[in-house]
Amino acid sequence: MSIGTGNSMRPATTSQRTALVVITTIFFMWGFITALNDVLIPHLKSVFTLNYTEVMLVQSTFFGAYFLMSLPSGKVLAHWGYRASIIIGLIVTGIGALLFLPAADVQSYPLFLFAFFVLASGITLLQVAANPYVSLLGAPERASSRLNLAQALNSLGTTIAPKLGGLLILSTAVLGAAELARLSPAAQTAYKLQQAHSVQGPYIGIAIVLFALAVLVWWFRLPQPANAAEADDSRHRFVDALKHRRVWLGMLAIFVYVGAEVSIGSFMVNYLALPEIGNMSQARAAGYVSLYWGGAMVGRFIGSALLTRIDTRKLLAFNAAVAALLVLTTMLTRGHVAMASVVAIGLFNSIMFPNIFTLGIEKFGPLTGKVSSLLVMAIVGGAVIPLAQGALADHVGVHHAYVLPMICYLYIIWYGLRGSRVA
């Protein structure tokens, strides 16, 4: 039986609308946390004197957690249900945020990476539970529109985080590499300790908000979506889902999309600071990262409305095509044109993840929960592709390394037009 039967055809109830508000707040928080990585990457690169490949271990660790923890998260969801899974996810994410305190105190890059892993493990469980929850919370023909709306709030978090992170973290970096080298070893150590400590305040605040949200979800009993039990039937195995070619194609689409999106954002501060591109400070460049993620937010609000009238697959392919052209433009130009092109990609990234996700779980009935876990596992693209782009940038430069995201968008065009079709 399809997930779009029975009570799901009824208009949204007050409890469903309230639940959507609560869940979209959680979407906002994990978007905020994820985009804050784009600020921490140049910051940690400076603090620990890392090359691009080494610093991209931040994204590899963060998004690698999606790969390692998605299947366990699916089992948690099948056993405990949506409400408990969301509460557990919020608590684990909050614990990960608190681990930034000892990591900064001892100035340990491996401990920072461990904190990123714990943080992302909690977000993985939130993704596995919240994405299908929103899809199931109402009429199936509006599932893509609802998920785009929720992802728009996620994008609001990704828009605010780089700007706020730039003010709270990057603006504290008053010395350049040459100035720092002229200091005594003791002064350098003291300065780097102060720089490491600058991350503590923001992550304490994040932990407080996450724990407060966990209490709110515990206090407010989220309604069970229509056919949720059917969609998360624990009698079905992951291997049953993997028998479907469309699952593999959907996983690859999520893999390359997240990889492209994260790569572009992760390199943007360093890219815009290049003399031939933006010739600006890292703190100022962080503001442009906010514009990049802000474009995704605006696009998702627009997409939520457009998807009530335009076919999901056609809109996905169109946006991927424009994104590919913008990447090509920034690679072939310099100065303001290159800047505008790379920032504008965010607007067309907007509807890709929710549309790929909605198409990926479409009409899988009792396998929906398992397919959701597999799609979230494919977010590991955010670990692999930025690392590959980092290695490429170390050899050919940041400017030309953007060829990798362009290839990713070409696959998404094909997936939208052909690969996502239900047999």
We report the CATH number of the domain holding residue 260 as: 1.20.1250.20
Please write the tens of the pLDDT for every residue from 150-187.
Answer: 877 887 888 888 888 877 776 555 445 555 555 566 66
Average pLDDT over the chain, rounded to an integer:
83
Give the separation between CA 384 and CA 391, rounded to whole angstroms. 11
- pLDDT on residue 190: 66
DSSP for 155-209? HHHHHHHHHHHHHHTGGG----HHHHHTS-HHHHHHHHHHHHHTTHHHHHHHHHH
Please write the tens of the pLDDT for every residue from 199-218.
Answer: 888 899 999 999 999 998 88
Report the pLDDT averaged over residues 225-245.
65
207 vs 23: which has the higher pLDDT: 207
Give the separation between CA 81 and CA 305, rounded to whole angstroms. 30
Q: Work out the percent of the chain whose per-residue pLDDT is above 70.
A: 85
Tokens (6 digits) for 138 = 């109402």
Give the separation between CA 174 and CA 324, rounded to whole angstroms. 37
Report the pLDDT averaged over residues 119-126.
94
- pLDDT on residue 223: 65
* Distance from chain centroid for Cα 149: 15
Q: How confident is the model at residue 132 (pLDDT cuts 50, 70, 90)?
A: confident
Tokens (6 digits) for 412 = 């998404």
Tokens (6 digits) for 152 = 């728009």
CB within 8 Å of 274: residues ≥ 6 apart: 398, 399
Q: How confident is the model at residue 67 (pLDDT cuts 50, 70, 90)?
A: confident
The CA R_g of the chain, rounded to the nearest whole Å, is: 21
pLDDT higher than threshold 60 for residue 323: yes
Across 7-11, 72-76, 291-295, 342-346, least confident range: 7-11
Report the pLDDT averaged over residues 395-419.
93
Tokens (6 digits) for 272 = 């815009």
Number of Cβ within a 10 Å radius of residue 325: 14
Give the separation between CA 345 and CA 322, rounded to whole angstroms. 8
Q: Which amino acid would we find at residue 343?
A: V
- pLDDT on residue 187: 61
| Burial class of 248 by CB neighbour count within 10 A (0 to 12, 13 to 18, 19+) | middle
- pLDDT on residue 238: 74
| Burial class of 75 by CB neighbour count within 10 A (0 to 12, 13 to 18, 19+) | middle
- Do the domain assignments include residue 56? yes
| Burial class of 47 by CB neighbour count within 10 A (0 to 12, 13 to 18, 19+) | buried
Give the separation between CA 153 and CA 393, rounded to whole angstroms. 32
286 vs 417: which has the higher pLDDT: 417
- Cα separation values, 113 from 116, 162, 376, Å: 5, 19, 20
- Do the domain assignments include residue 188? yes
φ/ψ (deg, to 5) at 307? -75, -10
Number of structural domains in the chain:
1
- Do the domain assignments include residue 216? yes
Q: How confident is the model at residue 97 (pLDDT cuts 50, 70, 90)?
A: very high
Number of Cβ within a 10 Å radius of residue 235: 7
Give the separation between CA 73 and CA 79, rounded to whole angstroms. 10
Tokens (6 digits) for 195 = 């720089």
pLDDT higher than threshold 80 for residue 124: yes
Q: 389-401: buried (b, 16+ CB within 10 Å) or exposed (e) per residue?
A: bbebbeeeebbeb
- Do the domain assignments include residue 320? yes
- pLDDT on residue 178: 53
369 vs 159: which has the higher pLDDT: 159
Q: Decide: pTM greater than 0.85.
A: no
Range of the domain at 219: 6-419
Residue that is written with structure tokens 């639940």 in the block: 19
DSSP assigned state of 310: S
Across 162-166, 190-194, 352-356, 392-396, least confident range: 190-194
47 vs 120: which has the higher pLDDT: 120
- Do the domain assignments include residue 303? yes
- Do the domain assignments include residue 272? yes
- Do the domain assignments include residue 1? no
DSSP assigned state of 9: G
